[in-house]
Amino acid sequence: MEKVFIGIDISKLTLDIFVKGYCKTQHYQIENTSKAIKKFFKSFPNNANTVVGMENTGRYNFELYEVLSNMDLLVFVINPLHLKKSIGLLRGKNDKLDSQRICVFLEKNHMDLEPWISKSSDIQKISLLNTERRHRVKIRAGLSRQMKDLSFLKNHTDKETVKLNKQLILLLDKQIKTIEKKIVEIIESNIELRDQYERIQTVPGVGKVLATMFIVKTNGFTEIQSARKMACYSGVVPFDHRSGSSIYYKPRVSTMADKELKKILHLAALSSIRLKNDLALYFQRKVLEGKNKMSVLNAIRNKIIHRVYALIKNNSVYENKLHMS
């Protein structure tokens, strides 16, 4: 049976849909609501011969996710950067064109892409709460820097403004703790997630925030199932940059990475080298050998990822066999 390819460009209010199949092409525009989406997909076979592709646009995808999770279609969520790099030189952009480009990309590359797996309701809740926490942490950090700068302008600052900033920081602290408590409650209510959450935290340097991020980013370790892929996704793998005999640079990590996860991994690496464990000894040994400290820290970030995946694969906990006097 002939496959039907459906490219969807998502916006807040509408979905632009380009359909290619049965020797014809057609563009549609529908509302971004569950009711409209269900009505649209009724005219297509509910099996793997209907191939659907979309970009990840965050919360605007949720209505579509909800409908597709109850269907048997072959669905792909495409990295926007992957799509952009693959198309080549372009002129012009609009929602109709974007949906067509997604459809064409899907037709050419669907055999090489990983199908989308719907997230459980618990992981979706944790993901949203984690996003809310991240926004509040960012605002709190900005206010804290501002308060520090104001301390140098003692005779020029407004006391009422300083007081309001302090109150806001206290309020953000309270909200962050409430969100973190809610995340833990959801994880504790799910036996599988709780088991993963507790085992991950036995790795030196890995705390509640990083453990939660691993669970969310991997969809409970059902996606990105290889430690090497996760290391690449996190931006801790160095890559060569050379061509012939005239162009050569030292291997460097790529900027194409999940920067938020990379930042938390870096904090975990810094924490691990302050504890009594093999990673701390590794750091000290490499620095004494003359290695660059940041390069060694990057290697520790990679080691943390591989340890986490080893624990998940072997269903075990990390044992610190280091005995220090």
Six-digit token pair at 17?
A: 């849909």
Q: What is the per-residue pLDDT for 243?
A: 77
pLDDT band at 322 (very low <50, low <70, confident <90, very high): low
Whether the CB-CB separation of 123 and 192 falls below 8 Å is answered with: no
Q: What is the pLDDT of residues 237-285, one digit of tens each?
A: 988 887 777 777 788 888 888 999 999 999 999 999 998 899 999 999 9
Q: Which residues contact 197 (CB under 8 A, 6 or more apart)?
A: 187, 211, 212, 215
pLDDT in tens, 256-269: 889 999 999 999 99
CATH of 4-112, one of 1.10.1840.10, 3.40.50.300, 3.40.640.10, 3.30.420.40: 3.30.420.40
pLDDT tier, 80 (very low <50, low <70, confident <90, very high otherwise): confident
Res 324: pLDDT: 44
Predicted pLDDT at 160: 85
Q: What is the mean pLDDT of the chain?
A: 90
Element (H, E) at 19: strand 14-21
Q: What pLDDT does 97 receive?
A: 92
Query: Has residue 217 got a pLDDT over 50?
Result: yes
Q: Is the pLDDT of residue 158 over 90?
A: no
CA nearest to 302, candidates 244, 236, 253, 251: 236
In this predicted structure, what is the pLDDT of residue 266? 95
Higher pLDDT, 159 or 40: 40
The DSSP result for 35-82, as a single string, is: HHHHHHHTTS-SSTTEEEEEE--GGGGHHHHHHHTTS--EEEEE-HHH
Average pLDDT over residues 3-22: 93
The CA-based dihedral angle spanning residues 283, 195, 219, 278, taken in that order and rounded to the nearest 10 degrees: 10
Residue 325 has pLDDT above 60, yes or no: no
Q: Summarize pLDDT for 45-54 with one digit per residue, the tens.
A: 999 999 999 9
Q: What single DSSP character describes residue 116?
A: P
pTM confidence score = 0.85
User: What was the pLDDT predicted at 288?
Assistant: 94
Q: How many CA atoms lie within 13 A of 8 on its CB side?
A: 30
Strand, coil or helix: what is 20?
strand
Q: Residue range 4-27: average pLDDT?
A: 92
pLDDT digits (tens, 9 = 90+) for 128-140: 999 999 999 999 9
At 178-190, the pLDDT tens digits run 999 999 999 999 9
